[in-house]
Every structure is written in C-alpha cells, then in structure tokens.
Structure 1
C-alpha cells in the first residue's frame, strides 16, 4: 500500500526555526519515543523524507532539519561549507530540543558523510548513537562515481555552472540517477527545484560541492568508524544508482565486518522517494532486530 505524501506547502508550514552560529535553520519534529535523526542529501532537503515521516513518527521522536545551505535554511554566500560543521549542526539541533538519550540515525547521500562523522564522534565519547542506517551515498570515496553536474561544479567554472543550473538541469540530472520506472513527477521536480532555488541557492552550489574532497581527506577516520562494530549498522541501497549503487555495497561488504546490507532492485539514488514502502519495511525490520539483539562487541 502506498505511503501518504506530505505536500511541500504543508511540510513547510510545519517547520520551526532555531539559530545556529548566526544562521536561521529550519527543522521539523514529530512523534514520541526513541529519537530518530533523519539527515538529507545533496542538493535537496529534509522534504526528501516526507513519505516516511508519519510512519516513523508513530513509534519514534523523529527529527530533521534543512542543513546549512540547503532547502529553507540560510544559504550565506560567503560561507565555507563543511561536513564537520553540518555534524555540529545536528548536535546543536538535538541540544536545542533537549535530546539527551542515544539517537538512531537514518541518512542519505551527503547526509551519510555527516552520519559517519557522528559515528566517529560516538567512538570518541562526543555523541551517543544508538544505530545508523545509510541509504545511497558515498561511504567510500573510491567507489563514488561523480555525476556530470558534480564534476562541473567542482571545476574552476563551478561558480558559473551553479548560477546557470536550473529546473531543467535538475530534471536531466535526476533522470540519470533515478530508476527508470521511479522517476519523479513534474510536480515533484517543481518542488525539489523550489527547495534548491530558495534563498538564492544556486549561487552556492559550487561551495556545497566541496563535500567531495572533504570525504577524501576524512576517509580513514570515517571508514574506521564503520569498522568498529559496536553500533548496529545497515545499508539500504538502490542498486540501479550509477553514483553509489550496487558497486558501493560490494565495497561495504569487503570492508565492514558482518556487513548488513539490503539491495533494492531497479531503484536508483533516492530510495526514500522511489521505494518508500520498501525502505520503511527494511528499516523497521532492522530496528526490530537490534531491539532483541544481545549487546555488540567492538572490533579493534
């Protein structure tokens, strides 16, 4: 049975704001129970989770925000955007909401890297992570296959590419990374573009894309965090994704002990949009599994 959509207009009305280092951040909270932090990807925003929002809120305190530079949050033009700062933002949001207990994390794409940093901080005693599930993302720089628009944004002409990037370019890009039968509707593309375009967003796309070299610099820290083994992890991945599909999962199985992975056939880079029923099923199975599992031992 399909999951109910939350129209973008309704989603935006439910948002709240807080200030992070002088910048206004939009965030959303619903439900009650164990805290579950949802972390979105590039170049979209937290509305990516709208199909899963209400089902997850039935049994969790679900929390998400548009990260700095994304969606309806502030997009300062003169800012150096950094994945480490986005992890700081997640912790600041949890502090703002007075969340003190261990947090479950569900992340996608760019958000996977933020989640990896939070996992590393968990091992350092600076964050309490109860579990983490990764959707399609560049967990390993060596398996991340750049889309054309990403290559262009990383080039010396990136600032110009960002300013000329429009709704039609977004449609072309998404047609390459979504499954052939699960591409977004024209209305959904309008909504995705509205979030990117908000607050003069195209002018900072070339700054946001610097997360790719940041991933390379921090690879050993973040892959090491995945290999520790004392936090329950799962990957739910659209195998059709040319950026971080089945080839990324193969690498995950090679490097992560006792790898728990799920491949979704014919699904692309946005499984929470393309196949939300499947993602919900596999996510809830994971949570049920870890709720009844004995304590895990760390791997050194």
Structure 2
C-alpha cells in the first residue's frame, strides 16, 4: 500500500504542532522508563460455529468468561441471546453499562461489538479514530427516540476484537458492516458517521450506489471527518502514528498525553469535562487497543489511494447526504465543508459555531436537533413511528446449546 513520502508537514513548524510533537516524544521516553499502564483484558474469542455465522453473547468481560454461540439458521438470520454483561470492575461506569447493553457478532471468529436500541427506521452509526461507539452515548437517547439505532465498534476499536499485527482496511470494515446488517435482517438503513467512520461510510455508500451490496443506504449524514484528502489538515500526531514509529508511539502513549491531545480536538467540552475522556481512555486500553492504532490509521493512505472512488460516492449518491460539523475543528472543519459543498452542491452543510471535532459528544442536544431537522427535510418518519419491518422480524432467542 502506498505510503506517505514525506513526514515533515508544515504543522510541525507551528507552535501547536511543536507542542504536540514534544508531548508525544516525551510520553514515549517516559513510558520506556516507567512502563505502560496495564490494559483491560478482554475474553479470548472462541472458534466460530461450523453451521454458519453466529452471534456470541458473553456473560462477563473478565478473563475466563463463558460465551455462548447462537447459530443463525438460513431462514432466521439472527437470533437474540443474552446480552453482554460486565460487573464494572475493570471499566468506568459509563463504558461498563454500554458494554452490558450490547452484543457481539461473530464474524469468522472475530467478535464485533454492537448495540441496538430504539424504534423506527434503521440508523447505522459509525465512530471515529481512535475512539468507539461510546462516542454516541450522550446523543443516544435522542437518536433512539426516532430510529432503530445500530452502533458498531469497528474491528480494532472499542469492545470489538483488536487483532495485532493486522492489515486493517476500510474495505474490510465495510465488508463486516454488510455481513452484520445482513445477519440482523437489515436491508435498508440511514447512516450517521464521524471521522474515520465517515470514510467507511463512503465505501458503504459507493457499493449501495453501484447496486453491488445487499445493504441500501437511504441517507448519509457525516460529522467532522477528512472526507477529502486535499481538504483535510492533518496534525503531527496523525503523521507520527502513520509513520514507521507509529507502533511504539501508539503503544507507549500514556493517559495524560492521550487526554492532552484529545482535549485539543474536543474544545471547551473536553477541557470542562463534558466529554468523558476517562471513559474514552479506558475503552482505548480495552484488549490492548493502543498497539493497533498504527494499523488502523492506514486509512489515511487508503483515503489518498481511493479518493476518486469515495468522492464519487458522495457526488453520485441517489440518496440525501449532509455534513454537520464543529466550526472550531482545524482538521476537518471549514475546509472539508467547503469541499463538500463543491462536490454535492445541493446537499445541506450545517456549521455549528463553538464546537470542535466531536459535536455529537460536545453538544449532544444541539447536534441531535440539527440531525432530526435534516431528517424532517429528508422525509424520514418522525418520532413515535412503529418499529421497522426488519426489527419486527427478529425471532425469539433459541435455547442455549
């Protein structure tokens, strides 16, 4: 895969860039001397059942927890079982509750975490890098009031498996989403995607546009994300993680450095404690997630290599598309919004003043209001609509095997 040729962007010459570089370098040296923080361990995956795809439900998240594989028959592609549970011993209360209310899809022996709640049309929500579906915790009640929401932890993120070493790819992430939604009986969905998840959504949309996927995208709304290579403004941290130093930089990152860097993307909400950085840090460390950051961030190279395909996915989309963004984001704010308006001239672009890279976490109510207003414009059924046909077709859980 094509690599970036240069690692000396102008960002390194700015005061902010020099500070970020110094902080990461200092963290690596400190971690080498003092050792890294103990990671939260996840239960090892068990082999997939031979009869076909399965949903795996875990009774606990501690090592040694037992898992039940529920085989999905061809006529009934998905069966609900016991939800994943946690005693909260290793995670802060928020992430522990989020994990307990979710489920695991067994994708060829790899566990993919997802949480599904709500009534109405299906909404697939995708998170950014290097965080998880928990980014949507604050906005979750507003989304589930109108939609049947499926929030997924992409492979290598959140509570999903994090294979290492591994060649992570946007295309495989899209494959997994197609298999998961098929297993859930979902053929049509709206999409809400942030950051890295936006790039994955572009690939899902490209397949839907071409009619080559069983999953039909009904609308796609993007939150802050580097949808266009020529308009994104990467920071020194991006370049370091994407460089040959990426594995040690990621693995040796400590909590103060993570919070310092994330605060620079979360604006006042991060500094004032509105964004739960402690929870985000705990989830990143779940199942040794820091070491896979270098592998996941290869999506930057894929953005460059497949820019034409993913830009065309937006330009040629037969469904409504929109961009909602925090105006204070220097990475994927105004520059991406201007390019989005050029590529899709008639699409809504909503600028949220005073917000940074995580509008759905920084100001959940405000972001939800804009999102619902867009769907009123799209003609999506309003709150209180009956459950989607896909959701209603879910059969009762089978007896444990």
- In the superposition, the TM-score normalised over structure 1's length comes to 0.91
Contact 1:45 1:70 in 2 (8 A): yes
Q: Which residue of 2 aligns with 1:54?
A: 141
**What is the CA distance between 1:175 and its match in structure 2?**
2.1
- Cα distance in 2 between the residues matched to 1:264 and 1:183: 18
Which of the numbers 140, 163, 180 marks the counterpart of 1:76? 163
The counterpart of 2:130, out of the listed 43, 46, 56, is: 43
Q: Determine if the alignment matches structure 1 residue 275 to structure 2 residue 363.
A: yes
Alignment match of 2:208 (pick from 117, 122, 145): 122
Q: What is the CA-CA distance between 1:263 and the residue it aligns to?
A: 0.3
Q: How does 1:176-195 map to 2 (within 5 A)?
A: 176-180=264-268, 183=271, 185=273, 188-195=276-283
Q: Which runs of 5+ in 2 are unaligned?
A: 1-92, 382-401
Q: CA deviation at 1:162?
A: 1.1
CA-to-partner distance for each residue in 1:144-191, whole Å, 9 max, x for gaps? 111222111111211111111121121111122122355462982111
Match of 1:85?
A: 172
Rounded Cα–Cα distance in structure 1 between residues aligned with 2:246 and 2:361? 28
- Does the 8 Å CA contact 1:34/1:60 hold for their aligned counterparts? yes
Structure 2 counterpart SS, 1:213: helix
Higher Cα Rg, which structure: 2
Q: By how many angstroms is 1:57 displaced?
A: 1.1
Residue pair 1:131, 1:231 contacting (<8 A) in 2 also? yes
1:98 maps to what in 2?
A: 185
1:223 match = 311
For residues 99-132 of structure 1, the C-alpha deviation after alignment (integer angstroms, 9 at most, x for no partner) is 12x2100000000001101110111111301101
Deviation at 1:259, TM superposition (A): 2.8
Q: Separation in 1 of the partners of 2:333 and 2:101?
A: 33
Does structure 1 conserve the Cα–Cα contact (< 8 Å) formed by 2:209 and 2:317?
no
Tell me by how many angstroms 1:22 deviates.
1.8
The equivalent residue for 1:255 is 343
Structure 1: gaps of 5 or more residues: 1-5, 294-300
**Alignment partner of 1:37: what SS?**
strand
Across the aligned residues of Structure 1 and Structure 2, the Cα RMSD in angstroms comes to 1.7
Aligned residues: 287
Partner SS state of residue 279, structure 2: helix
SS in 2 for 1:103: strand
d(CA) in 1 for partners of 2:272, 2:161: 26
What's the CA shift for 1:8? 2.0
User: What's the CA shift for 1:233?
Assistant: 0.8
Q: Which runs of structure 1 show a deviation greater than 4 angstroms over 4 or more consecutive aligned residues?
A: none
Distance 2:261 2:361 in 1: 15
1:203 alignment partner in structure 2: 291
Residues 182 and 267 in structure 1, CA contact (< 8 A), matched pair in contact too: no
Q: Distance in 2 between matches of 1:181 and 1:24?
A: 32
Give yes or no for contact 1:229–1:257 (8 Å, CA) kept in 2: no
Select the residue among 142, 148, 151 that pairs with 2:236: 148
1:7 match: secondary structure: helix
CA contact (8 A) 2:275 2:362 kept: no
CA distance in 2, matches of 1:234, 1:186: 26
